Chain A
Amino acid sequence: MNSGLPTLTQHRKDDAPPRKTVRSRYLPLAATVSLFIVISVLGSVMYTGFFSPQVFLNLLIDNAFLIVVAVGETFVILSGGIDLSVGSVIALTTMVSAALVEKAGWHPLIVIPLVLAMGTAFGTLMGWLIARFRLQPFIVTLAGMFLARGLCYLISIDSISITDPWYAMVSQIRIPVMSGASLSLGAVIALVVLALAVFVAHYTPFGRTLYAVGGNPHSALLMGLPVNAATIGAYALSGFCSALGGVLFTFYMLSGYGLHAMGLELDAIASVVIGGTLLTGGVGYVIGTLFGVLLLGIIQTLISFDGSLSSWWTKIAVGALLLVFCLSQRAFGERSATKR
């Protein structure tokens, strides 16, 4: 019997749950996309030069790494967990890459697969601890965050600039998309990752198991789904995405530094939530995260275009967005949870 249900609040027979129409499932996503469009239009009206293809493609270019990381975070949150270590893993990835390329002289094409494997292993370890010992994801990934950043500093306190020509060359690759506008390699990679993620989430048993675990882990277990394996997989995937995001970040910053991506996990989580995914898990679309990132990005762009508004308004705007989305998620009668 489900001992988790408080028995004093049983369901009422007559009050069947409001029949959610197919449309209502997409409502949060629609809200995000609409908001994105509205702000884009606002910006175009208010500022000249806003509505140019390159401005929008720049959103993708500048936020490529965040898109990748947030995609990984989406999987973890869908499964009902959370990953606070993503920013630190990015930093660690940049540091290890920089150290190996600059100090040890290894070729980037060896270093990159290596750091990807490292990130995946890191995530797998955290996932294993969470699944095997039923630890709280919050605290495990918190420790992971400390650990990753600490390891950064163990390698080097100061930043290590990457002067390797290969990196510089790759970071400047531009793939023309339309009428003078182009995308960076990183942005293309981000879009590819996104497409793959959508596939995994909707067409693979692994992805569906994650949704099931996020919806009701107890039921998922009783239904015979591989809950533990899926949980570990989600964190491994997040670790991989963090490392990949770190690689993209390395192209972006061309340096390895322990202070890179501070607070990025919050941006990732905010993107996921604003993209329509419930923090309690089980509900949401990976594509929503893309729009979450884009929305955050366009607010930032708008503020910098304005010039008069200070950039910290972005933080307040993000907080306000989070508030609105979370409150409306609650208002739509989602299950409440006592877990953190």
Chain B
Amino acid sequence: MDDTVRRGKLRSMMEHRLGWPIVTLALLLALNAAFNPGFLHVEWRDHHLYGSLIDILNRAAPLAVVALGMTIVIATRGIDISVGAVVAIAGAVAAWAIGGSISGNVTRFALPVVIVAALGVALLCGLWNGLLVARAGMQPIIATLILMVAGRGIAQLITSGQIITIYYSPYFFFGGGYLLGVPVSILIVALVFALLWLAITRTALGLFLQAIGINPTAARVAGVQARRLTLGAYAFSGLCAGVAGILISSNVKSADGNNAGLLLELDAILAVTLGGTALTGGRFTLAGSVIGALIIQTLTYLIYSLGVPPEVNLVVKAIVVFAVMMLQSGEFRATVAKFARRPALADREVRR
């Protein structure tokens, strides 16, 4: 476009949809490095990569996976606030399938069965949500609210109200193990991202999902199978929550029906919004959501390393949400533009 040529390179970089998220992340990393000497240092220790950056990637993994699922749902103009509960359910199913034996190498069912069971239940949860939204025509927030409320109860039911400790060591591989020196959790996120990315770019799914989110009626007239895709989106979100549930329960070596995945849905929505996908649906960015998850985790790390209690994180998250909200609001930008002399940035290509 002619405009791009005239503007500076920096400007055009900022206009790219990932511009702001990447800059924010870079800023946070820089702040971290400033306050923590050795923050950027990554070394090889005990046969694996070691360092603060690795830590952040590891901890952000469950959130990143859930955020990916959430991105797809939000793209279709929906939302899924039940993911936290599904995380708890998945962890509970896995713990149950492994059984309570204290011995580190005894499990009630073989590991593959455990994984399939946990993911299968999570997928069912997602399908449930999808049915309520696509078939019964319920508002997404209500449909997923139901599972959010009941899901914790279900998780508790499976764990009989206890926090089940998992002793089966091969299970820890997922959340705490290493493969070729890289934490497995990071590899799993990369795998999910890669599969999703392939699905979105190598097939027409990306196009269909965006069409549904931008104009569901037009998409339907054009022959897009809106119902099926919406169902699939929620099923996928549930599946992602299942993966996150395995990562989390495997990392903390226990399944807690009450606290596993608590407030995770909110963090996931925040990550998606930070990454540049608008809550109103339509165009979405997978990479943005992953970056958003990293931003949240890096922020948490920064606050923690400053000696500030982690709960204060909440205030910072609130401010960030406010900021992002305002920036995404057309009304706000219009108000700002009125004050500013020069014309507002043409962010047509960046956001909607």
Interface, chain A (partner B; CB < 8 A): 6, 8, 82, 129, 132-136, 138-140, 142-147, 149-154, 157, 258, 266, 269-270, 273, 279-280, 310-320, 322-323, 326-327, 330, 336-340
Which 10 residue pairs are nearest across A and B when measured between Cβ atoms? A319-B150, A315-B153, A150-B315, A150-B314, A153-B311, A312-B156, A147-B318, A146-B318, A316-B153, A143-B321
A266: which of B77, B148, B322 is its contact (CB, 8 Å)?
A: B148
B257 partner residues in chain A, CB cutoff 8 A: 312
Overall SS of chain B's interface: helix
Are A157 and B311 touching (Cβ within 8 A)?
A: yes
User: Which has the most chain B C-beta neighbours within 10 Å: A157, A270, A311, A319?
Assistant: A319
Known interface pairs A135-B329, A139-B321. Does A153 touch B312 (Cβ–Cβ under 8 Å)?
yes
CA distance A311 to B332 in the complex (A): 46
Q: How far, in angstroms, from A109 to B312 measured CA to CA in the complex?
A: 29
For the complex, is B269 an interface residue (Cβ under 8 Å from A)?
yes
A340 and B139 in contact, given A312-B156, A315-B149 (Cβ under 8 angstroms): yes
Tell me, in angstroms, the Cα distance from A314 to B140 when the chains sit together: 23
Taking a contact as CB atoms under 8 Å apart, the answer to whether A132 and B161 are in contact is no
Given A139-B321, A319-B146, 4 other A-B residues pairs in contact with their CB atoms under 8 A: A6-B217, A143-B321, A147-B319, A312-B152
Q: Which residues of A contact B138 (CB under 8 A)?
A: 326-327, 330
Whether the Cβ atoms of A146 and B137 lie closer than 8 Å is: no
Query: What's the least CB distance linking A275 to chain B, in Å?
Result: 15
- Interface residue B136 (Cβ < 8 Å from any Cβ of A): yes
Contact between B137 and A315 (Cβ–Cβ < 8 Å)? no
Q: Establish whether residues A318 and B149, one from each chain, have CB atoms under 8 Å apart when the complex forms.
A: yes
User: Across the interface, which residues of B come within 8 angstroms of A340, CB to CB?
Assistant: 77-79, 139-141, 279
Chain B contacts for A134, CB-based, 8 A: 329-331
- Establish whether residues A314 and B137, one from each chain, have CB atoms under 8 Å apart when the complex forms: no
A281 and B140 alpha carbons, distance in the complex (Å): 15
Asked if B216 is at the interface (CB within 8 A of a chain A CB), the reply is yes
Docked Cα-Cα span, A261 to B196, in Å, equals 38
Are B331 and A133 in contact (CB-based, < 8 A)? yes
Q: Which listed residue, B149, B150, B316, touches A150 by the CB 8 Å rule?
A: B316
Indicate if the CB atoms of A153 and B137 lie closer than 8 Å: no
User: At the interface, yes or no: B106 with Cβ under 8 Å from chain A?
Assistant: no
A157 to chain B, nearest CB (A): 5
Q: Which residue of A lies closest to B147 (CB)?
A: A319
Indicate if B313 sits at the interface (CB-CB under 8 A): yes
Given A8-B221, A326-B138, CB of A310 within 8 Å of CB of B315: no
Q: Chain B: interface residue count, which band? A: 35 or more
Complex-state Cα separation, A142 to B146, whole angstroms: 18
Beta-carbon contact of A327 and B136 below 8 Å: yes
From B79, B148, B315, B329, name the one whose CB has the most chain A CB atoms within 10 angstroms.
Answer: B315
Taking A146-B315, A150-B315 as contacts, is the C-beta distance between A270 and B331 under 8 angstroms?
no
Verify B326–A133 contact, CB threshold 8 A: yes
Q: Does B273 contact A (CB under 8 A)?
A: yes
Task: Assess whether B305 is interfacial by the CB under 8 Å rule.
Answer: no
> Is B142 positioned at the interface, with any CB of A under 8 Å from its CB?
yes
Residues of B close to A270: CB separation below 8 A: 149
**Contact A316–B154 (Cβ < 8 Å):** yes
Question: Nearest Cβ distance between residue B271 and chain A, in whole angstroms?
Answer: 13
A143/B145 in contact, CB under 8 A:
no
A322 CA / B139 CA spacing, docked (Å): 13
A304 to chain B, nearest CB (A): 14
Interface string of B259-287 (1 = CB under 8 A from A): 00000001001000100000100000000
Query: Whole-angstrom distance between the alpha carbons of A8 and B332 in the complex?
Result: 33
Verify B77–A338 contact, CB threshold 8 A.
Answer: yes
| Chain B nearest CB, measured from A239 CB (Å) | 15
Report the bound CA distance from A41 to B329 in whole Å: 52
Q: A320–B312 Cα gap in the complex (Å)?
A: 35
Q: How far is the CB of B324 from chain A (nearest CB, A)?
A: 9
The distance in angstroms between the C-alpha atoms of A149 and B309, with both chains bound, is 13
Considering the chains assembled together, what is the distance between the CA atoms of A266 and B138 in angstroms?
A: 18
Smallest Cβ-Cβ distance to B156: which chain A residue: A312
Q: Does B192 contact A (CB under 8 A)?
A: no
| Chain A residues within 8 Å of B146, by CB | 319, 322-323, 326
Q: Are B321 and A157 in contact (CB-based, < 8 A)? A: no
Q: In the complex the two chains form, what is the Cα distance from A196 to B258 in whole Å?
A: 37
Residues of chain B contacted by A143 (CB below 8 angstroms): 317-318, 321-322, 325
Given contacts A132-B331, A316-B153, A318-B149, contact A138 B266 (CB under 8 A): no
